[in-house]
Amino acid sequence: MKRIPLFTLVFVIISSLILIHSAGAYEAKPYHFGFKKSRNGELPSIAQEGFMSILQKQGAIFLGDPKKKELYLTFDNGYENGYTVKVLDVLKAKKVPAAFFVTGHYVKDQPELIKRMAKEGHVIGNHSWSHPDMTRISTSRIQKELDQVKEEVAHLTGQKEMRFARPPRGIFSEKTLAVHRELGYTTVFWSVAYKDWDTKDQRGWNHAYKNVMSQLHPGAVILLHSVSKDNAEALEKMIDDARKQGYEFKSLEQLTVKHYQ
């Protein structure tokens, strides 16, 4: 068995203790991310949700610059349902960057798709190893959940850095956001979404198309779930018609301005 150098072991222990101590200073009250949906191109709002100041303080993102017709396409990948290949094919054909927030199950189950995401220039984000409610577990467990995903993705793709994280089910607290930040992550929420994750409630591509297109606004961070057949079938038309409206698709890595309403 390879021995871990004493200096490295001490450094890891001290770093973990510092993280645990600092995270303890933040409020642990849980929130479920929600927002007032955009209509007719107006901006969505989190002003009534009670957590705007927490997101600002911890550097979390839910939309980009509302003065620019830019869109940020993101997918949550908890498990594979047979549609991610089609999604990736459309993104490649249309030259659209996206971010895929993956769980441990997805990484272990779909290594070739993870490799393809990285090879084709998409952001791979952290959606935790086992998809727990992060507000109900310890700081050390949060770190482990994130580290496991990061390490496994690095093993598959050579990607050493992972800069973005998304809390499972959108449940968070000031403490969990602080832990993300202290581990080097920007927490990414969203400003366009609809109920697309229920595989037993798929209503056809037009249902997905209308739900997304009706909410488009400048600086939108779009959340889609790759398990949705509707999303996969609507994606090409969404992209084409958004571009016809003057929108440009950009990578999360290009999102530097954070605005809150």
Does 68 fall in a domain? Answer: yes
Which letter does DSSP use for residue 97 in this model? Answer: -
Residue 13 in domain: yes
Q: What does pLDDT average to over the chain? A: 91
| pTM metric for this prediction | 0.90
Rounded to an integer, the average pLDDT of 180-208 is 96
Mean pLDDT, rounded, for 177-199: 97
How many of the other CB atoms lie within 10 Å of CB of 133? 16
115: containing domain: 6-254
pLDDT of residue 261: 65
Radius of gyration of the chain (CA): 18
Separation of alpha carbons 84 and 90, rounded Å:
10
CA 154-157-158 angle, to 5 degrees, is 60
Tell me how far CA of residue 13 lies from CA of 10, 19, 255, in angstroms.
5, 10, 34
pLDDT at residue 6, as a whole number: 52
Which residue stretches of 104-173 are H helix? 104-109, 111-119, 139-157
Q: How confident is the model at residue 258 (pLDDT cuts 50, 70, 90)?
A: low
Mean pLDDT throughout 182-205?
Answer: 96
Q: What is the mean pLDDT of residues 63-68?
A: 93
Catalytic status, residue 76: yes
Kindly tell me if the per-residue pLDDT of 220 is higher than 60: yes
The total number of structural domains that make up the chain: 1
pLDDT band at 160 (very low <50, low <70, confident <90, very high): confident
- The residue from 180, 196, 225, 230 that is catalytic is 225
260 assigned to some structural domain: no
Residue 259 lies in a domain: no
Indicate which CATH number applies to the domain containing 61. Answer: 3.20.20.370
**What local confidence, expressed as pLDDT, does residue 2 receive?**
45
* Residue 104 Cα distances to 95, 114, 146, 152, 204, angstroms: 27, 11, 9, 8, 29
pLDDT tens digits, one per residue of 87-127: 999 999 999 999 999 999 999 999 999 999 999 999 999 99
Q: Does residue 1 sit within a domain?
A: no
From 76, 122, 127, 217, active-site residue: 76
